[in-house]
């Protein structure tokens, strides 16, 4: 039983990537299109060419690439940097502790994306499919 569970690690890496990417896509669509809800406090979308709009572009389109597992390593590295900037710009000045500064999502995403930039997309991805076709 343990060996079968351990052997499922690569597939679970793909599941982790897919679920996290879906959630980050929603963060992007929230900023770009006010979908499924808008940004606080008034429910609007970010104005074009603002910092939040650029973050929305990175999250919606980068997240979509991660969801598909396409160009996972470079995209995850860029999104890791985005999350580090988000944490240190908005959360860290409030408090050192992520649980006190609402920085838990940014901190976790930063290290999750950093891990994926090293580990890759897993077997259920377009990256794996492309690598298999190259043979």
For the chain, 135 residues long, the average pLDDT of each consecutive 10-residue run is 91 98 98 96 96 98 98 98 98 97 98 98 98 91
- The whole-number pLDDT of residue 1 equals 84
For residue 3, what pLDDT is reported?
87
- Which pLDDT value is given to residue 78? 98
> Which pLDDT score, from 0 to 100, does residue 128 have?
97
Spatial distance between the Cα atoms of 48 and 51, rounded to a whole number of angstroms: 9
The answer to whether residues 92 and 82 touch, using CB atoms and an 8 Å cutoff, is no
Task: Report d(CA 75, CA 116) in Å as an integer.
Answer: 9
Q: pTM score, two decimals?
A: 0.94
Domain count, the chain: 1
How would you classify residue 125: left for phi > 0, otherwise alpha for psi between -120 and 50, otherwise beta? beta
User: What's the pLDDT at 2?
Assistant: 86
84 contacts 90 by C-beta, under 8 angstroms:
no
Tell me what pLDDT residue 9 has. 95
Range of the domain at 39: 2-134
Helix, strand, coil percentages in the chain from 3-state DSSP, rounded to 5? 75, 0, 25
Token pair recorded at residue 124: 């259920």
């Amino acid at each position: 039983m343990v060996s079968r569970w351990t052997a499922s690690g690569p597939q679970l890496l793909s599941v982790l990537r897919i679920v996290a990417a879906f959630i980050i896509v929603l963060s992007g669509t929230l900023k770009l299109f006010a979908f499924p809800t808008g940004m606080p406090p008034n429910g609007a979308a970010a104005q074009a060419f603002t910092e939040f709009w650029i973050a929305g572009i990175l999250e919606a389109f980068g997240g979509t690439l991660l969801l598909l597992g396409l160009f996972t390593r470079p995209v995850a590295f860029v999104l890791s940097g985005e999350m580090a900037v988000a944490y240190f710009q908005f959360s860290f000045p409030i408090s050192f502790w992520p649980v006190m500064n609402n920085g838990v999502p940014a901190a976790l995403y930063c290290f999750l994306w950093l891990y994926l930039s090293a580990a890759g997309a897993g077997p259920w991805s377009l990256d794996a499919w492309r690598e298999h076709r190259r043979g």
